[in-house]
Every structure is written in structure tokens, then in C-alpha cells.
A = this chain, B = another copy of it.
Amino acid sequence: MKGKATSFDIAHLTGVSQSTVSRALRDSPLVSEETRRRIREAAEQLNYKVDKNASNLRSQHSGTLALLLFEDPTADDSHINPFFLSMLGSITRACALRGYDLLISFQQLSYDWHADYADTKKADGIILLGYGDYLAYLDKLQKLVAQGTRSIRWGAVLPDQPDVSIGCDNYQGGQAIATHLLEQGCRRIAFLGDASSHYPEFFERYRGYAATLQQAGITMDPALQVDAAESTEQAGYNALETLLERAEPFDAVFAASDLIAIGAMRALADHNIKVPEQVAVAGFDDIPMARFLNPPLTTVLQDTKLAGETLVDNLLCLIRNEPVETHLLPVKLVVRRSSQFSQPADHV
């Protein structure tokens, strides 16, 4: 074995968790006498030295990170948004690999949730994740930071934000989709999704798209932007219906999320409008089902594995009082058949 033995080595040797080793070496009554004996023997065998400072420090820790999900748990639709579910899975895994449990708490934006984490030792730090109106919870975020709770937020980088945030480069993603659709020959590209500072991630996607169209000399037509504040299939379906009612021509749809795109594709099919032959469609997220759609959906990949790891690692830095900076993760354009109408269709 290289280097000094750690409590993880003892855990590995004795087949118990690292937290059980810590507890046993502190002679905690929560560990059975026999297990304590086995762990002491293994520690001796590995020539393990208890670092008193580290041990004291560790015993103040909960070994737990918290994840606050902002979403309405009473919503009719019983399924969590697949992008969040994927983030949930990736954060859970990243915690597991770093020896932490994850405490998940659904919170209503209107509640006084920050108070639950002030000095309760429930968790060493908090990750905040969720859609929802950012401006509606900004004051609570400020209180959370002011009370010294270590936290990191998934989302857009904003002027004067009180906290550290990590997000994906939504602006770049919006640019990439718009550039791709222009290359396909589209000129009347509708945007389905809220485009206001209440929903900063959608707004950044919109801004990247709008800047790209303007650079290409296209005048923005407000009739081609339809709100869809919720990221659901139904919101996408309704937004597309609204777009059709406006009776303005369009040759492409950029949906602010894949779920919105799926709903829009369903509405297009109901009106016998062919994708991609008559209208190109693109989404955002690359949720697992995007590649299985018919036609498969062009979208922007947010790397949820990297995102989960980055959130957890940066929060652990904050907990160790190491410097952490707000930053954006790169995104990747994923071109599939839903947007390629310059290509011959399969059945021709």
C-alpha cells in the first residue's frame, strides 16, 4: 500500500462503511463491540494513526449534502422533469463516490426553507436545483448566504447574484441551435419558451438565439415567440397551438426544452405538419428519450454527469473553505433528423 493508511483502507479491509470506521475509532456505542474490535485490529495491522484534528473536524460533520429541489410537489403531473431526474441521479452518484449521503428536500418557493438549514447540522452544505421564478426566491437566497450556509446553485450566472452558481452555457446553446437552423436554410424560426428575467436559463437560450438571427440580418418578429413557462409536453403543445393561431408563417421551431419540443411535435403531427420536411424542430437538454423520438430530436446536450460532479466537488470546496468561482459548463449541439430538412427524407 502506498502512503499513509486512511479510514477508507480500514473500511475496505473490514467490509464496513467509512462512517462506521470513524465511529468505531471514536468508541461510539452505536457500533457493536465485536465490530469495534475488528476495526481496531485492522487499524493496528495497517499502522493507522488517528489524526485528532481531522477526527474532531469530521465528527462535527454530517457526512451529508442536501439537495433542495424547487418544484411544486403537488403538481398534477406526477413525474419529475426528466432533466432534473437525470441531475438527481448524477448528484446522488457523485455524492456516493465521495462518501456522502444526499438529503433531498422538495421545497415550495414561497416557504421559508432557508431557515431549515441554519445551524441544524442536517447537512454540511446545500445544492439548489429547480425551475421556478428566480426573482421570487432571490431574497431567501440572500438570507441563506448571509447566515453562512454553504450553498451552490445550478443555474444561470446573473448580475449581482448573492451566491456561487454553476450552470451550462445556455447562451452558447441558443447560438448553436440558431446557427444550425440557419445553415439548414430556415429563416422564420419560432421560439417556444418564456423569455424574461424570471426564468434566466430560458432567457439565456432566447438571447443566444436572438443575437445569432440578428447577426444574420434577420429582423426579429415578436409573433414568433410564445411563452411556455412550464417545461412540460402540455405547455409545448399549447404553445404550438398558439403559434398556429397567430397565422404567421414559420419554418422552424426552437423549443426551450426537449419536453416543450415533444409537445410541439405532437401538435404539429395533429395538424399534419411534417417534421422535418415542413418544419424543422430543435429542443434543449438531450433527455434520454430525445434520441428515440420519431424523428429523433436535434437538441443541445447538457452533460448531467459532469454537472452533478462539478456541483458536488465545488460544494465540498466551499465546505473546506477553499475558493470557488461561479462558472458555466460548455454545451454540445446534437444534430438529429428533426432539423435536417435539406436532407432527403427516409421514405423518398
* Interfacial residues, chain A to chain B (CB-CB below 8 A): 11, 14-17, 19-20, 30-32, 35, 64, 69, 73-74, 78-80, 82, 85-86, 88-90, 92-93, 95-97, 101-107, 110-113, 115-116, 118-120, 122, 288-289, 292-294, 305
Contacts and interface: CB of A to CB of B under 8 A. Distances in A.
A15 B103 contact: no
Stoichiometry, copies per complex: 2
Nearest to A295: B294
A112 B289 contact: no
30 contacts: A15-B111, A16-B115, A17-B107, A17-B111, A17-B113, A20-B112, A30-B115, A32-B115, A35-B112, A35-B115, A69-B92, A73-B93, A73-B97, A78-B90, A78-B93, A78-B305, A79-B288, A80-B92, A82-B288, A88-B88, A88-B89, A88-B92, A92-B104, A95-B104, A96-B106, A101-B122, A103-B104, A289-B289, A292-B293, A292-B294
Contacts of A64: 103
A331 to B, nearest CB: 18
A250 B167 CA distance: 49
Nearest to A106: B96
A95 B106 CA distance: 9
Contacts of A14: 112
A104 B105 contact: no
A115 B32 CA distance: 9
B112 A17 contact: yes
